[in-house]
Amino acid sequence: MKAKFLIPLILFVVLIGFLAVGLNRDPHEVPSPLINKLAPAFNLPQLADSQKMFSPQSMRGQVWVLNVWASWCVACREEHPVLVEMGKLQIAPIIGLDYKDQRDDALTMLSSQGNPYLLSAFDADGRVGINYGVYGVPETYVIDKEGIIRFKHIGPLTMDLLNQRIFPLLSQLKKS
Amino acid sequence: MIPEFGHYALILALCIAIIQGILPLVGAHQGRREWLMLARPAAQTVFFLLAIAFAILTWSFYINDFSVLYVAEHSNTQLPVVYRIGAVWGGHEGSLLLWVLLLSTWTFLVAQLSKALDEFMVARVIGVLGLVITGLLLFVLMTSNPFERLFPAAQDGRSLNPLLQDPGLVFHPPMLYMGYVGFSVAFAFAIASLLSGRLDAAWARWSRPWTTAAWVFLTLGIALGSWWAYYELGWGGWWFWDPVENASFIPWLVGTALLHSLAVTEKRGGFKSWTVLLAITAFSLSLLGTFLVRSGVLTSVHAFATDPKRGIFILVFLSLVVGSSLVLYAWRAPKSSLGGKFSISSRETLILLGNVFLVVSAASVLLGTLYPLLIDALHLGKISVGPPYFNSVFVPIMIPLLVLMGIGPWANWKNTNLLAVIKRLWIAGVVAVCAGIFIPMAMGSFTWLSSLGFLLAFWVIASGCMQIIRQAKTGKPTRSFIGMQIAHLGIAVFVIGVTMVGGYQEEKDVRMLAGESVSVGGYQIMLENVSAVPGPNYNAMRGTFLLMRNGKLEATLYPEKRSYFSSSMPMTEAAIDVGLTRDVYVSLGEELPDKAWAVRVYYKPFVDWIWGGCLLMALGGILAISDKRYRIKLRQAST
């Protein structure tokens, strides 16, 4: 048996190893070092109007939700109806961070699938995303009145998650 | 009662498939003829039983038997009949049943059309396919039984995902699966020849038409899916590098490499172990694709509800099938003889080079698709890989491949004077450069990327035309020669479509009131009105748009915004005016205050060439299969 004929087998075994580990990992659970830290500051143009800027400081005194999304991200499309529902309930303002996207594509997605956001900041080169430690889109942050990140979720939001964790947290933060 | 017959047919099919998978293989090994002879009848019976099971599931959908859980989950009383039929494969259980049915269809066809082939070879091929069918049937029966009952029966079903309620669902999955699964035949031939130790040109000649047939189906299936996404999703895109799209595209790339490598093995006896490896890889990637889609390890538009038990089962199955094949490969392939010698400048070298580019591109797409999973498994975090990665990695690999496509068919087997070939191709070079300079200028704006696109496309076209002229002078060209030329022309047509859309499409997002118009790509589009229209299982707002050019009415378009009773998510039905040189695409967005509507219009030049190119590739494949050389060989082999 010549060694080079074993290469495909070895590659395959490695691949299977990864797939096996992947099966046992919840694709949506990641700890964040940013919990209970001040949300990183930024100043970005808004998606709908590049003349206007948005900065998290302007949200001081409010409990709000930051949702990182992009039109190229499939999981975001999956999540979108949940966000639209959440927007209708008006529990807290949702600010979008449109991550490494094309402005036109992003606007199309919002016009065709509904716009749950108070506004979206347009992070064309993903620099703000880096400061927030964005691993994968979509991501969602709950930020309190002092501008401190209280909760972070990676992956699409679900109605269950909203009802069980995020809504209670929002109402608790609003009271304090 | 009837669904139980379906369940019973599945169990019986499993029992026969076990026989089909074991006895012929053992018989071929020990030289027991009576066991060998079981291969064909077993394959026919399995096919027959699976067809019955499938027909029964279809019947349950047709009569809306909501005591069958799968029917209750994917159909309801308001769903039109045609989508009830499509709904049979609209969910996990049914699409797996379709997978197995098509696999046994291929097996059945092999059993019917292999009369001229060596009995031992046929028995081994059918046996290998039987083992694969056994594994999949176990999977269906243990984790995803489509005939599971629901007592008491549901009053009404949950209905099919509105995204899937489209003619695309009726054709896209069967076509795609037919291609996906079809690579199993090339795989089975490869394994059979490894088992018998007869890795020779005859093996390549036999698996070549089968591989081409699978490749044709896969090409059409992918093209249909792309076209469906284009008109249904309302985003105006034709390819999204979604994990599931990639799962079908990666086997296509490897399958394309396999087609070319098989040609070398058949004609020159070379690349044997490489060809075998490609045949194993193409089918393994089809299985891997199934794993990715069915297990939910990656998120995607195509993902169905996921169940970890299923993921583990497929993973084990994948390990067994691919692992044992690769062990067999490592053990037997080194014993294969080398083919005819060839020099560095020969058609063999060029095909090998093309193969390398195809395999590298497949590997890079695979890497991008699995990267989020790899990073997660290594505890490095979670990421999502988007189109920017794929475009920047995939496109550069395609450039040398297209250059090679213009040269390869000119080269002779064994040894050729490449310099002379290149000298001969100066006309094609001039045509290509002119196209690269003048077409972008004629389109109004010059960019290097579109210039490169036209240059490469016209290089392939011009070189192809020159070959056809040369061949016509020397005698009547064979069908496989014409097939190759048409398939290569298809690639060029595809590249023109992609370049045109990428470089020159126009899109506008506007707020429109009735009577207002917007202009795009030299057309004016006027919104006449928006009215409510009821559908069979939805309510729609339908816009009436007049498409005009220079004040003359060209078409009337009716895009819709639908809300299905069974789903909260509104669906966008775009309206498209299709043309040979352009599509005009109108989609209706949200209703805005003051009776205004958000409207999105696209002008997409040559977009239909993308799918036209795929059709040409498939046509080329069909011509190649029908080449009389296979029929002659068939007769020779039988005497």
Task: Find out whether B589 and A112 touch, Cβ atoms under 8 Å.
Answer: yes
Residues 6 or more apart whose CB falls under 8 angstroms from that of B252 comprise B179, B215, B218, B219, B222
pLDDT of residue A175: 83
Chain A CB contacts of B322 below 8 Å:
12
In the three-class reduction of DSSP (H, G, I as helix; E, B as strand; rest coil), residue A98 is classed as: strand
Position B292, amino acid: L
Position B417, amino acid: N
pLDDT of residue B639: 38
Cα separation, B600 vs B622, whole angstroms: 39
Chain A CB contacts of B243 below 8 Å:
74
pLDDT of residue B616: 97
Say if the Cβ atoms of A154 and B334 lie within 8 Å: no
B329 Cα to chain A: minimum distance (Å): 7
Chain B CB contacts of A16 below 8 Å:
315, 318-319, 323
Task: Find out whether B329 and B276 touch, Cβ atoms under 8 Å.
Answer: yes
| pLDDT band for position B307 (cuts 50, 70, 90) | low
Mean of the per-residue pLDDT values for chain A?
83
pLDDT tens for each residue of A43-83: 899 998 888 899 888 888 889 999 999 887 767 877 888 99
Cα separation, B380 vs B385, whole angstroms: 15
pLDDT tens for each residue of B73-124: 888 888 888 888 888 988 888 989 999 999 999 999 999 998 888 889 999 9
Cα separation, B615 vs B624, whole angstroms: 14
pLDDT of residue B18: 97
Residue B603 tokens read as 């002008």
Mean per-residue pLDDT for A123-134? 79
Say if the Cβ atoms of A135 and B333 lie within 8 Å: no
Mean per-residue pLDDT for A137-147? 88
A51 touches chain B (CB under 8 A): no
Closest CA in chain B for residue A26: B297
Say if the Cβ atoms of A154 and B382 lie within 8 Å: yes
pLDDT at B152 over 50: yes
pLDDT tens for each residue of A107-116: 888 988 889 9
Say if the Cβ atoms of A136 and B587 lie within 8 Å: no
A38 DSSP β-pair partners? A148
pLDDT tens for each residue of A94-109: 999 998 788 888 888 8
A77 touches chain B (CB under 8 A): yes
Q: Is the pLDDT higher at A176 or at B432?
A: B432
Mean per-residue pLDDT for B438-460? 92
Q: What are phi and psi of B181, to 5 degrees?
A: -70, -30
| pLDDT band for position B637 (cuts 50, 70, 90) | very low
Residue B105 tokens read as 């269809």
Kindly state the percentage of chain B with pLDDT values over 90.
50
| pLDDT band for position B385 (cuts 50, 70, 90) | confident
pLDDT at B233 over 70: no
Residue B437 tokens read as 């300079």
Chain A CB contacts of B244 below 8 Å:
none
Give DSSP secondary structure letters for A49-76.
Answer: -TTSEE-GGGGTTS-EEEEEE-TT-HHH
Cα separation, B282 vs B293, whole angstroms: 17
pLDDT of residue A135: 61
Nearest partner of B38 among B50, B28, B51, B52, judged by Cα:
B28
Mean of the per-residue pLDDT values for chain B?
88
Please name the member of B315, B372, B507 whose beta carbon is closest to the beta carbon of A23.
B315
Residues 6 or more apart whose CB falls under 8 angstroms from that of A73 comprise A99, A137, A138, B384, B386
Closest CA in chain B for residue A2: B334
pLDDT of residue B158: 74
pLDDT of residue B551: 85
A99 Cα to chain B: minimum distance (Å): 11
Residue B326 tokens read as 């690769």
Say if the Cβ atoms of A155 and B299 lie within 8 Å: yes
Say if the Cβ atoms of B509 and A111 lie within 8 Å: yes
Chain A CB contacts of B377 below 8 Å:
18, 21-22, 25
Please name the member of B277, B281, B374 whose beta carbon is closest to the beta carbon of A18.
B374
pLDDT tens for each residue of B314-357: 888 989 999 999 999 999 888 777 666 788 788 889 999 999 99
Please name the member of B297, B299, B312 whose beta carbon is closest to the beta carbon of A74.
B299
**What CATH number does domain A33-175 carry, 3.40.190.10, 3.40.120.10, 3.40.30.10, 1.10.240.10?**
3.40.30.10
pLDDT of residue B460: 96
A14 touches chain B (CB under 8 A): no
Say if the Cβ atoms of A155 and B323 lie within 8 Å: no
B331 touches chain A (CB under 8 A): yes
pLDDT tens for each residue of B178-216: 998 999 999 999 999 999 888 888 888 889 999 999 999
Please name the member of B301, B386, B590 whose beta carbon is closest to the beta carbon of A72.
B386
pLDDT at B569 over 70: no
Nearest partner of B303 among A147, A33, A77, judged by Cα:
A77
Cα separation, A40 vs A132, whole angstroms: 7
User: Which of A5, A99, A117, A139 should one mutate to test binding to chain B, selecting the residue with the greatest count of B CBs within 10 A?
Assistant: A5
Q: What are phi and psi of A66, to 5 degrees?
A: -110, 125
Nearest partner of B180 among B245, B278, B252, judged by Cα:
B252
B197 touches chain A (CB under 8 A): no
> Burial of B25 by CB count in 10 Å (0-12 exposed, 13-18 middle, 19+ buried)?
buried
pLDDT of residue B55: 96
pLDDT tens for each residue of B575-598: 999 999 999 989 888 788 888 888
Chain B CB contacts of A73 below 8 Å:
384, 386
Say if the Cβ atoms of B330 and A5 lie within 8 Å: yes
CA atoms within 13 A on the CB side of B507: 21
A121 touches chain B (CB under 8 A): no
Chain A CB contacts of B277 below 8 Å:
8
A21 Cα to chain B: minimum distance (Å): 6
pLDDT of residue B638: 43
pLDDT at B429 over 70: yes
B569 touches chain A (CB under 8 A): yes
Please name the member of B315, B318, B590 whose beta carbon is closest to the beta carbon of A111.
B590
Say if the Cβ atoms of B323 and A12 lie within 8 Å: yes
